[in-house]
Amino acid sequence: MAGLKLVHLYKRYENSGKKKIQNNYAVNDLNLECAQGEFMALLGPSGCGKTTTLRMIAGLEDITQGDIYIGDTRVNDLEPKDRHIGLAFEDYAMYPPLTVYDNIAFNLRAKKVDRKEIDRRVREIAPLMQVEDILDAMPVKLSGGQKQRVNIARAIIRRPELLLMDEPLSHLDGKARQAMRVEIKRLINEIKCTTVYVTHDQLEAMSLADRIAIINFGVLQQVGTPAEVYDNPVNEFVASFIGEPPMNIMETTIINRDGSFFFTFEGSDLNIQVPERYRGVVADGFKCKMGVRPMDLLIGGEGSMGTPERIATFENLGDERRIGIRVGDTLMMLITEDDRRYKSGDIIKLEVRGEKTHLFDLQTGDRIREK
Ligand code: ATP
């Protein structure tokens, strides 16, 4: 097991033509370190450069500039087969004429590993990936989840220094996806292998990863634990990408009323107190964006001092309810466990956990830090 270090890594596709890649770089000055045994998720929207990064680490894509280290070895010029990596990509890439057993054993046979040793390793990994019962089956007979387990077994049987996974669950639907997520977590705990996991699904990244690297337009936005990127997003992009439903982010003008600061919103009576810690950075008339998570909006009870607001949308999702409230031309989402049957048009007293609000710069989208 080895750590991974990416140093000023760039990728420019010569044939990218008029594709809208910022500065023409699919990966733009990426610096990232994964500790030994760490599970790092690369998270971002489609086209942000996740797969390109993974393919450069694997040696399947040329590096335009920069260095990649696996452990202490600079691997830029090493062939993929000499990098000691295991690959599990989204397409299962199994050999249809071979049984599951032979598919799992394939790479070891190619390396001329002893037959008994191959058998020992296949039988060691099969229960771990819960494929013991299908070792004799042909790939065509397998479900998506089974194919995915075989795919991962093939990647880890080589005992890689580094496991690289690219959207391994993307072919699975809701329930199977969730079940497989739990299995991957269990597996990684057992094999304790440094892992880089590409996904565009923030929930997958949040539930699996030790740390998440969030990328947009080839540029790393933030690296942090799930709690760090959720509670302390560095900018509007990260704030809105992490969390479902996303953080409510709205333009605001801050006013000073009797010595206290409040967020105000055009076309709305809503006033939210600005946390004291921002006193040093705001002033009367200060314009920025305010962000607040849907679970930090509350429905006030009897005698609440909250602002009366009309419900615009109501969704009952079983264990939670989502309420939309119009604030100017934005729909502000609130999540509640309150099981009253609200409907559009009902009036509620809206309370906001002011201390949970974030401020973002209007132009750059960067989070404004308290002084
Ligand atoms: P997805 O989740 O959709 O695969 P991604 O974040 O993995 O997205 P990449 O596949 O790494 O993104 O693509 C990054 C950028 O590089 C995109 O703009 C893409 O169009 C471009 N790109 C990827 N492969 C090539 C290629 N072989 N030639 C030219 N441009 C490419």
CA of residue 27 to ligand 1 center, whole Å: 9
Ligand 1, atom 10, lies closest to the CA of: 51
Ligand 1 centre distance from Cα of residue 306 (Å): 47
Q: In this predicted structure, what is the pLDDT of residue 130?
A: 83
| pLDDT at 18 (0 to 100) | 53
Within 8 A by CB and 6+ apart from 208, the residues are 39, 41, 181, 184, 185, 188, 197
Mutate to test the pocket of ligand 1, among 9, 15, 43, 50 (most ligand atoms within 8 A of CB): 50
Asked if residue 3 has its Cβ within 6 Å of ligand 1, the reply is no
Closest residue by Cα to atom 24, ligand 1, is 52
Confidence (pLDDT) at 111 = 84
Encode the chain (371 residues) as per-residue pLDDT tens digits: 789 999 999 999 986 655 555 568 999 999 999 999 999 999 999 999 999 999 999 999 999 999 999 999 999 999 998 999 998 887 667 888 999 999 999 988 988 899 999 999 999 888 888 899 999 999 998 888 888 889 888 988 888 889 999 988 887 777 778 888 888 888 888 888 899 999 999 999 999 999 999 999 999 999 999 999 999 999 999 999 999 999 999 999 999 999 999 999 999 989 899 999 999 999 999 999 999 999 999 999 888 888 899 999 999 988 889 999 999 889 999 999 888 888 999 999 999 998 899 999 999 999 999 87
The CB of 357 under 6 Å from ligand 1? The reply is: no
**Residue 200 CB less than 6 A away from ligand 1:** yes
Six-digit token string for 34: 């994964």
Q: Give the pLDDT score at 19.
A: 54
Question: What CA–CA distance (Å, rounded) separates 139 from 50?
Answer: 28
pLDDT at res. 17: 56
Domain 248-360 in this protein, CATH class:
mainly beta
Instruction: Check residue 338 and give its pLDDT.
Output: 82
In angstroms, what is the span from residue 39 Cα to ligand 1's centroid? Answer: 23
Q: Tell me, using a 6 A CB cutoff, whether residue 13 lines ligand 1.
A: yes
Which two tokens mark 343?
Answer: 């409907």
Strand pairing class (297-299; 307-316): unpaired
**Whole-number pLDDT of residue 144:** 80
- Rounded to the nearest angstrom, the distance between the alpha carbon of 13 and the centre of ligand 1 is 9
CA of 365 relative to ligand 1 center, distance in Å: 25
CATH 3.40.50.300 is the classification of domain 4-241:
yes
Q: How far is the CA of 48 from the centre of ligand 1 (A)?
A: 7
The rounded Å distance from CA 28 to ligand 1 centre is 13
Per DSSP (E only), the strands in the chain are: 4-11, 27-34, 39-43, 65-70, 73-74, 85-88, 162-166, 194-199, 211-216, 219-224, 248-257, 260-264, 271-273, 286-292, 297-299, 307-316, 321-327, 330-336, 347-352, 358-360
50 lines ligand 1 (CB under 6 A): yes
- All structural domains of the chain with their residue ranges: 4-241, 248-360
Residue owning the nearest CA to atom 17 of ligand 1: 47
Ligand 1 center from residue 61 Cα (angstroms): 12
Q: Confirm whether pTM is higher than 0.85.
A: yes
| Measured distance CA(73)–CA(5) in Å, rounded | 10
Can you tell me which atom of ligand 1 is nearest the CA of 11?
16
Alpha-carbon 194 to chain mean position: 17
